[in-house]
Amino acid sequence: MAERSLMLVLHDVAPETWPDYRPFVEAVDALGQIPICWLVVPDFHRRNRLDDHVDFRRLLDGRLARGDELILHGFYHADEAPSPRTPRDWFMRRVFTHEGEFYPLSREESARRLQRGIELFQRHQWPLHGFVAPAWLLGPGARQALAATGLTYTSDPGHFYLLPDYRTVDAPGVVWSARSAWRRGMSRLVSERMLKRHQQSPVLRLGLHPVDMRHGFSRQYWLDLLTRLLADGHKPVTKIDWLDRHILASSAAA
């Protein structure tokens, strides 16, 4: 059987959301050496400037030392652009999500925020390879700006995209909508169907959000699923380590 890899990804990482994640991360650490991908927001909703939280930065330093990966996840994680003008934009920015920060931005503003995020990582000596847009939404200007950053990859729920040309790599992901009881119940059904469909996929991503951690039903599901996949032979790995091993090295050789 071909090797199957597993990525555990925490979205919306900020000082404000760490109390939600902490019990779960402690439970994961108790299972063994399982690397985690942390999607770090430099200033979550303009009230969580990482530069103001030395203890939280030390926590992230420690996670890097364990072998985890830190990934840039937007800058403010909030859509503050002028109101949408088209039905499609209204749906994407007011129904699908209110946090698609990089969906409406121009190339220039996207480049400015990306550079500020990159500089923050550089300032704290955190290696940086990837960027994931809030709600996975990249508008045309943001796509152009991201391609010019020199970063290695971005992603959406089902794929990696290698920069700068956005070459697609299949990477199915499991993600929940946990804001209400019916959504949590539906998410569990959808997740199980997806896992069955992709059980032999070479890579599987688990995408967790802070709201998942606020409900025992969803929090326990993620921990049980992680344990089940590990027992089934999936090998935990960070995004960049998997890409380096399976995609980037073969591309260089070709």
Cα 121 to Cα 78: distance, rounded to the nearest angstrom: 20
Cα 52 to Cα 249: distance, rounded to the nearest angstrom: 38
- The predicted pLDDT at position 34 comes to 98
- The predicted pLDDT at position 146 comes to 98
pTM here is 0.92
pLDDT at 138 over 60: yes
Torsion on CA atoms 161, 179, 236, 26, rounded to nearest 10: 140
Where residue 8 falls among pLDDT bands split at 50, 70, 90? very high
207-228: average pLDDT: 96
146-170: average pLDDT: 97
The answer to which of 4-8, 68-72, 89-93, 164-168 has the lowest mean pLDDT is 89-93
Residue 136: how many other CB atoms lie within 10 Å = 20
- The predicted pLDDT at position 177 comes to 86
- Going along the chain from its start, the domains and CATH numbers come out as 5-253 (3.20.20.370)
- The predicted pLDDT at position 148 comes to 98
Q: Which residue has the higher pLDDT, 89 or 137?
A: 137
86-111: average pLDDT: 70
Strands (E), 96-188: 153-156, 159-162, 167-170, 173-175
pLDDT at 171 over 60: yes
pLDDT at 93 over 60: no
Those residues with Cβ within 8 angstroms of residue 79's Cβ, 6 or more apart along the chain or in another chain: 93, 97, 98, 99, 100, 101, 103, 104, 134
The answer to which of 10-14, 88-92, 214-218 has the lowest mean pLDDT is 88-92
pLDDT at 65 over 80: yes
57-86: average pLDDT: 86
**Burial 95-114, CB ≥16 within 10 A → b, else e:** eebebbbbbbbebeebbebb
115-120: average pLDDT: 98
pLDDT at 167 over 60: yes
216-222: average pLDDT: 96
Query: To the nearest whole number, what is the mean pLDDT of the chain?
Result: 91
Which two structure tokens, joined as six digits, stand for 56?
Answer: 């939280």
Distances (CA, A) of 91 to 81, 95, 139, 140, 170: 15, 5, 14, 17, 26
- The predicted pLDDT at position 90 comes to 43
